[in-house]
Structure 1
Amino acid sequence: MTGPGSHAALDVACPDVYFTAGYGRAAAETDSGNWQTIHEADRLMLPHVLRPVGDTDADATSPYGYSGLHVDAACTPADLARFWSRAVAHWRESAVVALFLRFSPLDAASVEAVRGLGTVALTRRADTVTVDVSQGPDQVWDGMQGRSRTAIRKARSKGLTSTVRPVEQEDLLPGAPFRRLYESTMARLGSQLWYLFPDRYYRQLAAGLDKALCIAEVRDPDASVVAAALVLRHRDRAHYHLAGSDPLAARDGANNLLVWSILEWATQQGCRLVHLGGGVRAEDGLFQFKRSFGGARTPFWTGAAVIAPERYRELVAARAKQLGRSTEDLASSGYFPAYRAGVT
């Protein structure tokens, strides 16, 4: 087992972009934490961000996105049990109290393997959407719902055009079209503050992913960017990451054209899958929008494990007192770790 350190060489074998050091270190910037990965070569991988809890403790969480614990198909239950035991020993030495995992919807076998451990509480969250683009753009187009194709045609009739290209440094600066559109969209939707990423996140993301980080843009007839999204590429997969749009342009089909441009680009890049993610809530409008592109439902699971039970109970009790709630109420709230409940 290898613990914290530099794993650039391992990134090539990572099952997805969310397991790479470049992505993990960027995600750590949003939590004021430190990225680590515990792994046994490319057979077992568990990237996580260590976040301070008070002056002496810490907890661990998957980097924002989808990684969790990857278990290679050749690993036996005994292999996984040994790995987990050694990981828990490492965390206890590091004063880690609790662990929260966000599993990849594209790695269902790993979820089932972890279920066999019996020590991680698994929860199925809202589904995400994955589009198979391996058969080319014509099949993707034919597989979309009619309303999505109609919106794309409308966008083109309004003179909107789209491109996908590698990110340049200027694309991620404060006030750049992507940043402006994304941040205004989050504000309009009333999203949590943690969806507004700091400048250092974007700098680290660009430095860490390099050519694997792309940007999709839709422009109006005056060449102004009216919709944009970041796209993460890793091997035969592409991920729709962060996106925003002008609401007037959205009514003219700009968002549909944006996603279609990513799907079409992905086929040209030799990708097999495009993961569009899910909605804010199960079956909401955003989820239905993504489903209109003909993708399959892919279940999203999270996992929770208490590493230091006694210390966990102490922290929950202290947080409950601070919030004026009972310990039992906070512990049963469904928020994990419960001692972070109410923290924005």
Structure 2
Amino acid sequence: MQVPDIYFLPEWGKFFETKEAGGEWRVFETENEKGHVYYQFIVRPTPVQVDGARYSDIITPYGFSGPIILKCEEGQRQQLAAEFQEQFQRYCEEERIVSEYIRFNPWLRNRLDFEDYYEFRDNGHTLYIDLTGEDYFMEQFSSSSRRQVRKAVKNNVSIELDFTGESASEFHRLYDLTARKNNIEDYYLFSLESLHASFEVFKGKQFFINAIHEGSYISSSLILHHGDYMHYHLAANDPSAYPLAGNSLVISEACRWGVENGKKELHLGGAGSDENLYRFKRNFTKAPPLELLMGKKIRMPEAYDQLSEAKKAQEGIKHPGYFPLYRG
């Protein structure tokens, strides 16, 4: 089975199963003469239960995936998506799966095949660098970003590519500095052990790009790649070394590697509410931002309402706009 991006690989979903409390990785597929829909997700027990019944809900693995049509006969796309939804609805009812939250993939736009079946939450935008032109440095980077890259070179910042994970401890140290500076949530933290393990699971699909100055690691990024796509997945920096512009050189070198290895896009991710981070990333690309849309669906409305009422009665709901409500 060929999938177009690393976030759809079965080993990706399985590896991040433990990111969700009590989570269990599963796959559901519709495959017939019309085509093939593939969907991997994490099933989690709901935090409250009612009348002794056990209910679960679904979230897609860390990253951006969701159901995706891997192949389809011409003119059958809409019908294939409808059949998938019908079959998956039955599956959810049989498995007592109450609700579903999907982080759809913004560059593959797989949500478009299923937009009739979900409500969507706007999570802002994500950015990418188009690597298909003649010269990404001159065509995509702003003049200020080009200056930063040249500044790093002038500052004698050197680049190291690590394909085996030997520098994981240095990345982890820098990531810890970054996390503390930016108050990164626990969900987005990674142990040194998990970083080492990821290099076994995703061998040949990830590497570190490290910026080094006078023997010290000052900036690092964990780069993912599969098919046409690369991802500036995790970034780690020493705040005291910002003036050396190591992070700008890391992004430039990621682009260089991508072009040399036939990649078409380098995804930089979003920035949340951090306007400075958004401006920093935006200066590396002329490509239009991509919409980050999350899919929401209640699969068992009566049970959903009962669970929400139970949560309200037992603990109260701190975040009324949260989905699913019984986790708010």
What's the TM-score once normalised by structure 1's chain length?
A: 0.85
The Cα shift of 1:43 comes to: 3.1
Number of equivalent positions? 315
Q: Percent identity?
A: 25
SS in 2 for 1:126: strand
Give SS of 1:115's match.
Answer: coil
Query: Partner of 1:217 in structure 2?
Result: 210
Give SS of 1:210's match: coil
**Do the aligned partners of 2:177 and 2:239 also contact (CA within 8 Å) in 1?**
no
Indicate if the aligned counterparts of 1:48 and 1:62 stay in contact, CA closer than 8 A: yes
Match of 1:185 in 2: 178
Residue number among 232, 235, 240 corresponding to 2:232 in the alignment? 240
Equivalences for residues 297-308 of structure 1 within 5 A: 297-308=289-300
In structure 2, the partner of 1:284 is: 275
1:257 correspondence with 2:258: no
1:125 partner SS:
strand
Q: 1:165: how far off?
A: 3.5
Q: Which residue of 2 aligns with 1:64?
A: 62
The answer for unaligned runs of 5 or more in structure 1 is 1-9
Q: Is 1:107 aligned with 2:108?
A: yes
Distance 2:239 2:175 in 1: 11
Distance in 2 between the 1:164 and 1:334 partners? 43
> Which digits, 9 at most, give the CA deviation of each residue in 1:198-228, with x for residues without a partner?
4564355323211101111111122x21111
Would the aligned equivalents of 1:23 and 1:205 in 2 still touch at CA under 8 Å? no
Structure with greater proportional helix content: 1
Distance 1:163 1:111, change over 3 A: same
Question: How do 1:160-171 residues align onto structure 2 when only pairs under 5 Å count?
Answer: 160-168=157-165, 170-171=166-167
Aligned mates of 2:254, 2:230 — CA distance in 1? 9
TM-score (norm 2): 0.89
Residues 1:268 and 2:265 aligned together: no
AA aligned opposite 1:134: T
Query: 1:300 is paired with a residue of what secondary structure?
Result: strand
Q: For residues 43 and 120 of structure 1, do their structure 2 counterparts lie closer, same or farther at Cα, with a shift above 3 Å needed?
A: same
Unaligned runs of 5+ in 2: none
Match in the other structure for 1:154: 151
| Corresponding residue of 1:5 | none
User: Could you give the per-residue CA deviations for residues 62-120 of structure 1, whole angstroms, max 9, x where no partner exists?
Assistant: 11111122135734222111111111222222221111001111122x2222113xx31
Question: Structure 2 CA distance, aligned partners of 1:200 and 1:37?
Answer: 26
Task: Please name the residue that 1:36 is paired with.
Answer: 26
Matches within 5 A, 1:128-143: 128-136=126-134, 138-143=135-140
Distance 1:40 1:273 in 2: 29
Distance, in Å, in 2 between the alignment partners of 1:253 and 1:242 is 17
